[in-house]
Amino acid sequence: MIQDENVTPGYCFLQLLRSDEPLFETNIPHEHYIRDSIGRIILRNTFRTSFKRENTERHGPSNAVSRVKGYHELHIVFAFPCNSQLQHFLERPGVMRWLSSESVRYAASCDCFVVGTSSKIATYPEIEWRISTSLLERCLMFNLNITQLQCYVLMKIILKNILNPHTVNALSSFMCKTVLLHCIENTEQNIWKRDNLFICLSYCLLELNSHLQNENCPHFIISDNNLMAGQFTAEEKRDVLQKLCDIIQSDGRCFLRISMDNISQRLQVKLSTIVHFACSFQTSLEIYEHCSSSLFFSFMKLISGWLLHIFKCLSNGHICNHKQIILRLKYYSGEGNRLEQLASRYMAPFLCSTLGLIMESSSIEHNNLVQYEALKWLSLGLNSDVTSGRLKLASMFYCVGDMDRAKFILRQTESRYNSTVVEPVCGCWLYPHTIRSAEFKRKCSELSENCINSITSCCVKFLQAEVNCVPRELRYEMMRSTQDDMPYRSMFEILWMNYAVVDSLPYLYFLQYKTYGHLQRQQDQQRALSNLVEVIFTGRNFGHRETALNLLGQCLEEEDKPREALQCYMCSLQQKRTK
């Protein structure tokens, strides 16, 4: 096997050895070999045609026997076995936490093959052979659960009926399988449940859309091999992207256009009988409340998640960049389409709070004074949701030592947080959540989409550029990992693990505990500590319980309770431990 700069990643040339001793052959034995520019005898990938049967067609590396009525369709692939290319793949932490130990042992002993087909961008297509990991891929597919298999089947149905109905040059089912495997590797396994099927499918389609836009879909095992290299013309890419975008935005209605296996008719029967809802809801009002609350909650969860992507782009903390983003959002809030206006209106206040805190953090570093411009930006972010904008402002006053104003804002924030109505929201990572509050569902059915922020409480995100406006106990969250931990982070954790991120309600009670401590108000301080303990262990839908436990542990250390503090730290480790 030869793999050098002339070979596409994931492919190789095959150089002929002598049969009598371990030396390279110097003579061309027959027409299926050629001599390259430096004298090596290289096997052409057309060698497999000498094994071609009658009535066969070429499909990639295989010879497909024409289907005859009454017989199975047959594909014959000529392949050479080769040494394993899998060691680097097996060292990936996402793979290790997904596969069983038995599957890992099998994968370590798996053979690979080389098959006679070249890449679309090959410099020497006549002599390139593709490295095939089909045995390991087969093992991976046997490790999928039923929801993951259903996702794959649905993606193939969409591919065949909507994306590629008249062409074979666009997306392939192998790309769909690869995207699915990447999604499984980068998410928690408890996401892939039957009642999450549509969410999982949407995630896979979004991931496919991202790969297509970048024209880069890394092979799941040999990541240097880009499956989309040279696959599309600009027109084909534009056409497929448009279709894929329509599918994603259809919220499942695309299946009503699919005739395969009578999917459209069967789905319409399901919808008309409302079998699923009949088990859970008694009236149309309950159905409406369920749907509206789910939509509103998911919308704020997406806003919270997309903020992380914006923060990643602004990770250097440059104030001009933040201002430009905010101005752009303000433009869209007035000039974009209805969805762009809504999203921009809700994202802008969060960024205003972040910009104000970055300014004030810089000011604290130099003179420990409160800047007027920073206060102006923070005030624009107060109504981002019920709590997070106000908690950022309170955090700033706490860090400059203005405990009276911090106390006032925290008391005001607590009075706004009606636990029977307000739902905590975190979009940092995928985790199971349930909306149990009947009052929240009722409010969602009564309020318009412009009032979502009055009944939701997002987690509070502090960038490293805001560090001087973050209490000492929370700053440790920005330095939570060593280099050894980095490979174990999932795709979602990469976005937020270098920030200090905490759920709003635990942070509210933690700040109260610290503020009342400085004001020598022992009774109020103990009440805040009791509230912090209760909300950590009984609260629901929190995305960063491990952070709250760390804060509680430090409060307990301050209370001179080291044993209880240690229990909190140990419990925190169990929440998101290194796999």
Chain segment 166-225, per-residue pLDDT in tens: 655 568 889 999 999 999 988 888 889 888 888 889 889 989 988 988 889 999 988 889
3-state secondary structure of 75: strand
| Percent of the chain surpassing pLDDT 90 | 31
Rounded CA-CA distance 336/122 in Å is 43
By 3-state DSSP, what share of the chain in percent is helix, strand and coil, each rounded to 5?
Answer: 60, 10, 30
Chain segment 208-239, per-residue pLDDT in tens: 988 988 889 999 988 889 999 888 888 888 88
Structure tokens at 60: 């990639």
Q: How confident is the model at residue 579 (pLDDT cuts 50, 70, 90)?
A: very low
Question: Is the distance from CB of 243 to CB of 162 less than 8 angstroms?
Answer: yes
Rounded CA-CA distance 67/494 in Å is 49
1-5: long-range contacts (C-beta < 8 A, 24 or more apart)? 1/82, 1/83, 1/114, 2/40, 2/42
Nearest residue to 212 via CA among 278, 159, 277, 138: 159
Chain segment 534-575, per-residue pLDDT in tens: 999 888 888 899 999 999 999 999 999 999 999 999 988 887
Chain segment 64-101, per-residue pLDDT in tens: 766 655 556 777 888 899 876 677 787 787 777 778 88
Chain segment 51-65, per-residue pLDDT in tens: 566 666 776 777 776
pTM exceeding 0.85: no
Residue 521: pLDDT over 60: yes
H-type helices in 159-254, by residue range? Answer: 173-185, 197-214, 234-249
Domain ranges (residues) in the chain: 1-142, 277-575
